[in-house]
Amino acid sequence: MERVDVAVIGAGPAGSSAATWAARSGARVVLFEKAAQGRDKSCGDGLTPRAVAELDRLGVDISQFHRIDGLRVQAGRTEREVLWPSGAFPNMGAVAPRAVFDALVLQTAVDAGAELREHATAEPVLEGARVVGVRVGTEEVRADLVVIASGAGSRPARMVGAERVDGSPFGLAIRAYVPSTRADDRYMEACLTVTGPDGALVPGYGWVFPAGDGLVNVGVGALSTMRDFTKLNLNTMLDAYLAQVGPSWGLGPVAARPKAWRLPMHVEHRSGPGWVAVGDAAGLVNPFNGEGIDYALESGRHAAELFARSPGTVHAAYDALLRREYDPFFATARRFAWVIGRPRLLRVLLGIALSTGFTMELVLDIMANLIDSRRRTLAGTLLAGGGRALSLLDPILIRTQESEPSEIRARVDAAR
Ligand SMILES: Cc1cc2nc3c(=O)[nH]c(=O)nc-3n(C[C@H](O)[C@H](O)[C@H](O)COP(=O)(O)OP(=O)(O)OC[C@H]3O[C@@H](n4cnc5c(N)ncnc54)[C@H](O)[C@@H]3O)c2cc1C
């Protein structure tokens, strides 16, 4: 039977990052991907400075991607533009269509020495509670570590119990590619006052992310903490948002059928004997803004580095690292998701956030997780204090909201 050091299931950003770092450390790595190269993924395609920093570390050249200098935020008639902060992260972002982006990151893994097997729908092989390898059809590959990088709610993740914590918030979003006369704009635009089926404000946002080359990525996303979540209709919301931004962005007809998907935000069981989950499979999407590419890349690197350091203790070390470095931020962001599920509170908070350029910059630092942890900053202090205060409100805040709108469930399950 074939034997490798690391078997990775899924060649999105998380899997390709894990495969790259593991191969560079000298491990024999096989990367299984069920689709063919150039596969698409429903995404806003937005790379914030945090993602740019991680791509830099990985050695991926993103100079061909459309550069982004900052964020334009709208709420009702108020609009503010803020540049990316300079400090702990590069002061640039980018937009790159996922078909192109994922192919580039995957090529980095192959160049590092990972062996790619495409059209290979893989699943973990379990012996008791231990994962001992990967199965594709009737073929088995034994591995010291199996990296589950197969995305949100995927079968491999469910098989090892890496599932969303019951009742925890998650996101649903839809995106479309649309020709635009302003595809070269250097700001990502986000509208924070999108409305739901009952006309109330939705915790989420609409976006226009310019991709260069004549195209923009337009989408809307909402959190499951919203009122009347089961009545959410993303297609209707997207149509309304396209009509709203169409004139100012010089939009043409939507290029292909819009695609919707889930954004997982809370998985507790992220590793076990012989396996670790990374990226969306580990629920690592920032509830403040729906970003997951950076956390996918980062978690892939952490898993590979910890394996290289001590293969026998990787699952415990990885769990400890996530709990220490990521969980406090994500826990605060999830609590915030419950707060903004109340339209009146959301309106008040939007008023404060957009009141001045300074408050908007602070909000961007906190929500995009761009705080410089090497120094004491106001954003850092506010995040820590806000986190503590919000944790006291858990009994009031948290309402269990399980059901997903049937329209989305059917579409997402069909696409799986
Ligand atoms: C509409 C929308 C907009 C978003 N916008 C942004 C954004 O602008 N910026 C941002 O940072 N994040 C965004 N996100 C989140 C981001 O898309 C994800 O966090 C990111 O793709 C996670 O990467 P991943 O590698 O963990 O998973 P994925 O990108 O989902 O990759 C998983 C891979 O595993 C493969 N796979 C699945 N099952 C198997 C199997 N059994 N065997 C082999 N292969 C398998 C899949 O084919 C896929 O290639 C958005 C999400 C949505 C839904």
Q: How confident is the model at residue 412 (pLDDT cuts 50, 70, 90)?
A: low
Closest CA to ligand 1's atom 5: 44
How far away, in angstroms, is 220 Cα from ligand 1 center?
Answer: 17
Cβ of residue 296 lying under 6 Å from some atom of ligand 1: yes
Cβ of residue 50 lying under 6 Å from some atom of ligand 1: no
pLDDT at residue 403 greater than cutoff 80: no
Q: How confident is the model at residue 325 (pLDDT cuts 50, 70, 90)?
A: very high
- Give the SS3 label for residue 338: helix
Q: How confident is the model at residue 153 (pLDDT cuts 50, 70, 90)?
A: confident
pLDDT of residue 272: 97
Q: Secondary structure of 253-303 in the HEC alphabet?
A: CCCCCCEEEEEECCECCCEECCEEECHHHHCCCCCCCCCCHHHHHHHHHHH
Cβ of residue 45 lying under 6 Å from some atom of ligand 1: yes
Cα–Cα distance, 312 to 309 (Å, whole number): 9
How far away, in angstroms, is 280 Cα from ligand 1 center?
Answer: 6
Cβ of residue 54 lying under 6 Å from some atom of ligand 1: no
Q: What are the tens digits of pLDDT across the range 169-198?
A: 999 999 999 999 999 999 999 999 998 877
Q: What are the tens digits of pLDDT across the range 383-393?
A: 999 889 888 87
CATH number for the region 2-68+94-164+265-327 comes to: 3.50.50.60
Cβ of residue 11 lying under 6 Å from some atom of ligand 1: yes
pLDDT of residue 341: 86
CB 170 within 8 A of CB 301: no
Supply the mean pLDDT for the chain: 92
Q: How confident is the model at residue 82 (pLDDT cuts 50, 70, 90)?
A: very high
- CA separation (Å) from 154 to 9, 254, 300, 378? 10, 29, 17, 39
Residues 6+ apart with CB under 8 A from 308: 21, 22, 25, 26, 27
The ligand 1 atom at the shortest distance from the C-alpha of residue 292 is: 19
How far away, in angstroms, is 219 Cα from ligand 1 center?
Answer: 16
How far away, in angstroms, is 375 Cα from ligand 1 center?
Answer: 33
